[in-house]
Amino acid sequence: MLAIGSMFACLHTVVVISLVTGSSTRGTRALVAGLVGLLLLPVTEVVEGPRPSDASADLRLVAAAGPTPPTPDLGVQFHGLWSHYDRAKRAAVLNRISGSGARWVRLDVSWAMIQPRRRSYDLEWGVPRVDRVLKQAERRGLRVLVTFWLTPGWANGGQGERVAPDDASDYATALAWAARRWGDRVGAWEVWNEPNSEDFLEGADPAGYTDLLCAAHDALHRQDDTVRVVLGGLMYNDDAWLRRAYASGARGCFDILGVHPYMAPADARPELEDDGEIWRMRHLAAIRRVMTRHDDRRPVWATEFGWSSHRNAAGAPAWKRGVSQRKQAKYAVRAMTMLGRDYPYVKKAFWYKALASGDAGRHHDGYAMLRRDLSPKPVFRALRRLLR
């Protein structure tokens, strides 16, 4: 009851502001409609909302600023093929995502899973598993960005899934097969994840990755010229690595450039000024400068971004710092607003991630917009309000 009273107080504040100022802007009307919508939610989704004083202050600022500027389309990282998901949980989480205002999900698909042997695809388990998840997303009107990665042992002499294949054409052939099977349900294909990081691509060699990217791009575009190929999201805004990829011939081998503009320290606010290093969101400008120097004005997608919510242990490293749940929600909204206002070439931004799994560690799980019991955190509600 206290939470509902708080929401009525917020609604009253917006109406008073509108009457006093004579304002009837679309932004004010949208805020009123959004708050009324929230009042219709189950109480369990409202009890963790802002305190009346904080919410009223936020609403005064928004009302004074006028209509919300355009933002990138929102997507959400969905690890729907991971073992902690079953069909019922996937359906429940996808229902939540589709109700968040997001229209895209990013799904990581393992090449090793769907093609464990050179000349055959796993039509008994691996491929049907992807079939089911893509169908579930499609039924909810969600577009899918597939991240295609993880090398089967036969393709690199058993060196490990995060080692590139010996022959880039093997990867390209498998990706083209996947596009023929799932192309009508997939909106874009991302070539690997964070290829500039040793954690995800051993060696993190831009020349080797460019071979993989160009082989994949050519194979996909030979069979469908409308397909969208995404240069795998770079860990941070790594403009130096990107320059080396362009020098290796990456221009023309992708339709969208992917980045992961996380902050470091990981609890820093999104608007922090660019200090010339790769771990600031505002270093996106350096990424764009690299592109324009190569006469490349393709769009950029932030295929991951976010903040983790948790208490910080004494001496926690900078990359492992968390923020409060309320601050996580505020930073998400401010980041989306900043991207739309200052970086209009960033067309989509994928929040990392949908669901806390319980087996990924506190920092990793803290990024989730849904708790393990599927209840929404403040960041979920904040993004929904922004997008409505």
pLDDT of residue 67: 61
Distance, first Cα to last Cα, the chain: 25
Beta bridge partners of 68: none
Please say whether the beta carbons of 51 and 2 come within 8 A: no
Helix/strand/coil (H, E, C) string of 348-360?
Answer: EEEECCCECCCCC
Can you give the pTM of this predicted structure?
A: 0.84
Q: What is the pLDDT along the chain (388 residues), one digit of tens a residue?
A: 333 333 333 333 333 333 333 333 333 333 333 333 333 333 333 323 333 334 334 434 444 445 667 999 999 999 999 999 999 999 999 999 999 999 999 999 999 999 999 999 999 999 999 999 999 999 999 999 999 999 999 999 999 999 999 999 999 999 999 999 999 999 999 999 999 999 999 999 999 999 999 999 999 999 999 999 999 999 999 999 999 999 999 999 999 999 999 999 999 999 999 999 999 999 999 999 999 999 999 999 999 999 999 999 998 999 999 999 999 999 999 999 999 999 999 999 999 999 999 877 899 999 999 999 999 999 999 999 999 8
157 is written with which tokens?
């002499």
Measured between alpha carbons, how far is 11 from 33 in angstroms, rounded to an integer? 9
Q: How many CB atoms lie within 10 A of CB 67?
A: 13
Residue 148 DSSP SS3: strand
Look up residue 235 and give its DSSP letter.
Answer: E
pLDDT at 358: 81
